[in-house]
Every structure is written in C-alpha cells, then in structure tokens.
Homo-oligomer: A and B are copies of this chain.
Amino acid sequence: MEIFKQIPLYRYLSICNESGMQKTVLDCGAGGDTPPLSLFYSNGYTTYGIEFAADQIDKANTFAKSKGQDLNIKQGDMRRLPFENESISFVYSYNSIFHMNKNDVRTSLEEMKRVLKPGGIMFVNFLTVHDFRVGEGIDLGNNQYEQIEDGFPVIHSYYEPNEADGLLDDMEFIYKEDRVLERIFEGERIRQGFVDYICRKNKL
C-alpha cells in the first residue's frame, strides 16, 4: 500500500467516505509528483483536478500513468473554476491556495464553495504566521510576501491561526487543526506552520 505524503488528506478522505455522498472529488492545485487525487482514485472516486502550472501537470500525469490511472487533471485557475454550480461532492485544496494573495484566496474559496453540492465537504489549508519563512522576501503587507521558491518568485500568504475562520463561517464546522511542525529539510531543522479546515456546505 502506498502512503501519500499529504497526511491530513487521510482524515478528509475518511470523512468523505463516511458521508455516503456520490464519490466525485475536485483537487484545486492538483499537480506535483505524487498527486493525492491518486489516493481518492484508489478509493473509488471519480477525480477532477485543476492546476495552474503545466510542469506540475506533467509530473502528476507521469505518476498517474505509472499507476494506470486517469486523474483528469486540467490546466486551469482556481479563481475561475470550470465547473457548474453545485456539481461536485468533495472539493479540496492542499498546500496550494496560499500561493496567491489574500484577495485571490478569498475569490478561490468562493469558487470552491460554488461548485460544491449542498452537504458537500471541503478541505483547505493555509500557511500560518508560525512558519519560519514569515518576513522573508518582498513584503506585500498583511503577512503576504513575494519569496523565491525553486528559483522563481512566488507569493506566500500567511494567516493568523484564527484569521481564516471568517472565510468559512458560512459553512458547517467539522474539523480544524493548527499545526506547527519541525522536520529536516536539506540538512537543516525547519519549522512550518499550517492550519487545516474541514467543513460542510449547508443544505438548502
């Protein structure tokens, strides 16, 4: 059994499984070398993915091909999801949404809510101000920074542990976890901060 490195999605998958809803799932920011949509595919889900970066789509497709899976990941923009209103049971964005400024994060969350079916379940996580990179790079204000990642400039938005509560308060609360983790990265002990949310779209 392959263990995916996106550990918090195991809890989300478990909650999705228990909901009894139709097994359709959308990943916003679905690319990368071990796409977690593969875990959902293996659990019987019809998968959809949106990814901005073409090279990350290629990596995901290479992985999926090696598993004999078609994860259905398309190039696209979270701020304008190419899906109908209330069309998908489960929508998530893992370690992805904070690569935009906070206005775009808000827009993207509204899009995720829009495409969710009533009663559908969302996972999203944010970087927190406990992260070791807060303060690094070009300060865009309100804990938003332009930083260098893999040689390219990227935006990272950092949130206070309760700051994103207000972005999700029109949904039913299921789970929240404020995590400060330390691990070895390139020989150094680094500290990262994340806050994860699982919430349910209200039924009409």
- Interface residue count on the A side (C-beta < 8 Å): 26
Verify B3–A10 contact, CB threshold 8 A. Answer: yes
- A46-54, A145-153, A173-181 - interface stretch: A173-181
- Measured CA separation A70–B7 after assembly (Å): 27
Chain copies in the assembly? 2
A173 to chain B: closest residue by CB = B189
Q: How far does the Cβ of A23 sit from chain B's closest Cβ, in whole Å?
A: 13
A176 to chain B: closest residue by CB = B182
Task: With A3-B17, A177-B179 given, name 13 new contacts (CB 8 A).
Answer: A1-B42, A1-B43, A3-B11, A5-B14, A7-B7, A173-B189, A174-B183, A174-B184, A177-B182, A178-B179, A178-B180, A178-B181, A179-B180
